[in-house]
Structure 1
Amino acid sequence: MSSEPESLGFVRSSAEVNEEIRALMLRAGGHLKAEDRGEYQRLVEEWAAAVRAETFVEAA
């Protein structure tokens, strides 16, 4: 499996994912409920992957 961003299926930018994280935190009033933690974790992982992909593209 290639480690290039295109082959890993990254679609959204880190900025887009960050906006979704901010919206989630705003809706939650800054304190996540148990049912929101899974979504938050997924978003943070997606954000980190997007940052890595963007860094990879910039370095290429």
Structure 2
Amino acid sequence: MSPTPPPAGRLRPAAVINAEIRELWPHPAVRLSTEQRARYELLVVEWAAAVRGEIVKAA
């Protein structure tokens, strides 16, 4: 799985991204590979942007 962010301007819902994060890292005691860690970091950035977008949209 190559860590590529979604196209600019197209945000997935935060809940969808959160589910993907949980699937990638099911338990804190599990160590992620270098590739998984890179994917995790991109997902966290994407999740944060989605949360900000949802807050702005709700306001």
Task: Pick the TM interval, shorter chain.
Answer: 0.7 to 0.9
Which 5+ residue runs of structure 2 have no aligned equivalent?
A: 1-7
Letter in 1 for 2:55: T
Letter in 1 for 2:35: E
- The CA deviation at 1:11 is 2.9
Letter in 2 for 1:58: A
Report the RMSD for the aligned CA atoms in angstroms.
1.9
1:10–1:50 Cα contact (<8 Å) kept: no
Bigger radius of gyration among the two: 1
Which runs of structure 1 show a deviation greater than 6 angstroms over 4 or more consecutive aligned residues? Answer: none
Which 5+ residue runs of structure 1 have no aligned equivalent?
A: 1-7
| TM-score normalised according to structure 2 size | 0.75
1:49 corresponds to 2:46: no
Residue of structure 1 equivalent to 2:16: 16
Higher helix share: 1
State the identity as a percent: 46
